[in-house]
Amino acid sequence: MIAAAHRLFQRIPPTAQRGLLLALVPLVAVLPLPDFWITQLNYIGLYSLVAMGLVLLTGVGGLTSFGQAAFVGIGAYTSAYLCVSMGVSPWITLWVGLAITAVSALLVGWLTLRMSGHYLPLATIAWGLSLYYLMGNLAALGKYDGILGVPALSLFGWDVSQGRPFFVLVWLVVFLGAFALLNLLNSRTGRAIRALKSATQMAEAMGVHTLQHKVGIFLIAALFASVSGWLFAHFQRTVNPSPFGLKMGIEYLFMAVLGGVGHVWGAITGALFTKIMEDQLQVLLPKLIGTSGSYEVIVFGIVLVLVLKYLPDGVWSLIGRHFPTSQRPNTWFKAERLPERSKPAMGDVVLDVQKIRKQFGGLVAVNDISFQVKAGQIVGLIGPNGAGKSTTFNLVTGVLGLTSGTVTFRGEVISGRPSREIALRGMSRTFQHVKMIPDMTVLENVALGAHLRGDKGALSAMLRLDKDEENRLFGEAARQLERIGMAEHMHDLAGNLAMGPQRLMEIARALCSDPALLLLDEPAAGLRHKEKQALAAVLRQLRSEGMSILLVEHDMDLVMDVTDHIVVMEFGTYLMSGTPAEVQASELVRAAYLGTEH
Ligand code: ADP
Ligand code: MG
């Protein structure tokens, strides 16, 4: 029966599915369920909101926080205090709570997220503890006794703070929150967020301000927690510090991981399982071991270890595999084209590299290298393995800082600037070791390249006000994939591609940014003969359109075939440069290759 219902559900278009879920909420509320279950479901809803924030922050963004309970506390205490001591309406205190949460999240996030990721978990523990003791010691907040007599929430004179009305309120908020997060993850900002965990370097090279996005998801997760706290205060009608301590902070993380920290629905699944398990254990454990105490914590720990070992994607992964991931409707093919930047005139110097140098400790990886790339030129950078070609790329694109020297791009000195600012000026690149987001489609990965050609942020994405822009970005991504002969792989998961197509995908992604200079680091590695020929054709076509290309490549046939000018490096130093014919004839070059590679 479940299978049949599920098949039926899948036939319904995605927006209607969401409507159906929302309609289900009041329907469940009028079912003759025991009150006890309604109360449990109310708690599960409150927990789900916090865990959903953690899915975004930890599961998607790769940032761990033990301090979410503290943000729940801010939402709860702000509302309780303002309502009880000042008689402010709860519908106003909600926004005050969110504002205070936002300020504290931005502060904690901004201070800790600039350091390496490991500081965040520690900082959130400290944050959780200090807020807990603050709540417990401030006389105005009633110390450890807390604040009593928090007023009920009423809507048009109707008490919605308890039982079934509260159930409807909480679960509508939960589902709307879930939809907002799903919308967010499936957007321009969402693609940038999904790059945070494993591909920050690539994201920066596509123009994403990764620190800003990290702070952003920390903020959103905190706001979700704060809303949960506001609801909690008016549901319990009293607040005290204990539900907002570190233990609860850990439990929220437990819920997210148990349910499936990579999926929005995993948060709800985790909250459900945790609450049910907690209740069962509170009955079961005293019978088994004869004493009451918080032994359930031990069981939770064991369950967590087992889940991580046998079901690393959480319980939801068992359920979720039966649901297709929601794709945006393919309406982008009729979208208007994105505007293009003005390109340098043929023959203008696009890139001027002067005596750039990079030292890694005692090793001089790039030793005072100079060269130029002119508009409409393909310049090859060759040399044996370890010659410093990739490092040169990293210096030019701002991925690495220069030890000395200058890089001028289209007349502007860009050395010292971060790679996202260089990307903004029209330089785009691929990586020697492909960098992508494997669980996104090829089309989405390529669309990340157009990040700087859109400007819609998180809020527009959550409210789906970004449809036009998304269509244009996807239209551009599709066009670039077609251009490079990858159209038939558009909807494949990037992680399922073979090496050759992965490299082509990276080129399409770089092209998606509408660059004036393209840097390709070994684009033909792993390509089959036919694919190499297609690549050569694409490179020639790009050049004929006025594109300038800097190419690092080991396949000499390809290099000799497509380049106009070649710079040869060896052990970090300049060896010679010239036309392909001159380089081929050079004894120096032959010696360099024979000397180090054979
Ligand atoms: P190529 O791309 O020409 O094969 P690379 O630029 O990758 O060469 O490397 C040049 C030299 O710099 C090599 O000796 C390499 O080991 C060294 N190197 C590259 N990156 C680093 C790094 N981050 N730290 C230390 N040494 C590095
Ligand atoms: Mg290299």
pLDDT for 325:
58
Collect the ranges in the chain with pLDDT lower than 70.
Answer: 1-3, 117, 291-294, 324-331, 595-598
Question: Collapsing DSSP states into helix, strand and coil, what is residue 453?
Answer: helix
Q: How many CA atoms lie within 13 A of 354 on its CB side?
A: 12
> Which ligand 1 atom sits nearest the alpha carbon of residue 389?
3
Residue nearest to atom 18 of ligand 1 (CA): 365
Question: Which ligand 1 atom is at minimum distance from the Cα of 387?
Answer: 3
CA gyration radius, the chain: 28
Whose CA is closest to atom 10 on ligand 1?
A: 388
- Map tokens 């050759």 to a residue: 500
Give the CB-side neighbour count of residue 147, counting CA atoms within 13 A. Answer: 23
Residues near 582 by beta carbon (within 8 Å), at least 6 away in sequence? 576
Residues 6+ apart with CB under 8 A from 225: 49, 50, 53, 68, 69, 71, 72, 75, 101, 252
Q: Would you say 565 and 377 are in contact if contact means Cβ atoms under 8 Å apart?
A: yes
Distance 400 CA to ligand 2 centre (A): 14
What tokens were used for 101? 């949460």
- Residue 325 Cα to ligand 1 middle (Å): 40
CA of 407 to the centre of ligand 1 (A): 19
- Ligand showing the shortest atom-to-Cα distance for residue 522: 2
Nearest CA to ligand 1 atom 23: 360
Distance between Cα 419 and ligand 1 center (Å): 19
pLDDT one-digit tens code per residue, 364-421: 999 999 999 999 999 999 999 999 999 999 999 999 999 999 999 999 999 999 999 9
Closest ligand 1 atom to residue 391 Cα is: 6
Of 355, 359, 380, nearest to 519 by C-alpha is 380
Burial of 394 (0-12, 13-18, 19+ CB in 10 A): buried
In ligand 1, the atom with minimum distance to the C-alpha of 388 is: 6
| Ligand 1 site-directed mutation target among 358, 359, 360, 593, most atoms within 8 Å of CB | 360
Give the pLDDT confidence score for residue 39 in this predicted structure: 94
**Spacing, Cα 380 to ligand 2 middle (Å):** 13
Q: Quote the pLDDT of residue 320.
A: 80
Which ligand has the shortest distance to the CA of 570? 1
What's the DSSP call for residue 425? T
- Segment holding 363, helix H or strand E: strand 363-374
Enumerate domains of the chain plus CATH numbers. 18-322 (1.10.3470), 349-426+515-594 (3.40.50.300)
Interior angle at CA 503, CA 501 and CA 506, nearest 5: 110
CA distances for 293 relative to 254, 281, 296, 297, 302, angstroms: 20, 11, 8, 10, 17
State how far the Cα of 56 lies from the Cα of 328, in Å rounded to an integer: 20
Measured in Å, residue 522 CA sits from the centre of ligand 2 at: 7
The whole-angstrom distance between residue 305's C-alpha and the CA centroid of its chain comes to 26
DSSP character string of 244-272: GSHHHHHHHHHHHHHH-TTSHHHHHHHHH
CA of 361 to the centre of ligand 1 (A): 12
Ligand 1 atom showing the smallest separation from residue 432 Cα: 2
CA nearest to 560, candidates 545, 546, 578, 575:
578
Q: How far is the CA of 200 from the centre of ligand 2 (A)?
A: 19
Contact call for residues 128 and 191 (beta carbons, < 8 A): no
* Coil, helix or strand at residue 81: helix
What gap in Å lies between CA 12 and CA 224, rounded to an integer?
29
Residue 521 CA: which ligand 1 atom is closest? 2
The per-residue pLDDT for 597 is 47
161: phi then psi, degrees, rounded to nearest 5:
-95, 0
The bound ligand whose nearest atom lies closest to the alpha carbon of 521 is: 2
**Quick one: tokens of 179?**
């939809």
Residue 431 contacts residue 440 (beta carbons within 8 Å): no
Report which bound ligand comes closest to the CA of 432.
2
Tokens 């308890």 label which residue?
162
**What is the reported pTM?**
0.93
Nearest CA to ligand 1 atom 5: 388
pLDDT of residue 68: 96
The single-letter DSSP state of residue 497 is: S
DSSP 290: S
| 441 Cβ neighbours under 8 A, 6+ residues apart | 490, 491, 492, 493, 494
Closest-approaching ligand to the CA atom of 360: 1
* Neighbouring C-beta atoms of residue 466, cutoff 10 Å: 25
Residue 54 CA, chain-centre distance (Å), reads: 13
> How many A from CA of 598 to the centre of ligand 2?
18
* Nearest ligand 1 atom to alpha carbon 572: 10
Nearest CA to ligand 1 atom 27: 360
3-state DSSP assignment of residue 380: strand
Burial 150-179 (b: 16+ CB within 10 A, else e): bbbbeeeeeebbbebbbbbbbbebbbebbb
Closest-CA residue to 419 (of 199, 114, 190, 201): 201
Give pLDDT, residue 233: 97
CA distance 285 to 292: 7
Nearest alpha-carbon partner for 49 in 223, 167, 261, 250:
223
Q: Residue 385 C-alpha to ligand 2 middle, in angstroms?
A: 7
Tokens of 450: 């157009």
Distance CA 290, CA 284 (A): 10
Ligand 1 contacts (CB < 6 A) are 360, 363, 365, 383, 385-391
Look at the block and give the residue holding tokens 């959480």: 314
- DSSP secondary structure string for all residues of 235-246: HHS-B-SGGGSH
Residue nearest to ligand 1 atom 26, measured at CA: 360
Centroid of ligand 1 to alpha carbon of 398 (angstroms): 15
Contact 41, 195 (CB under 8 A): no
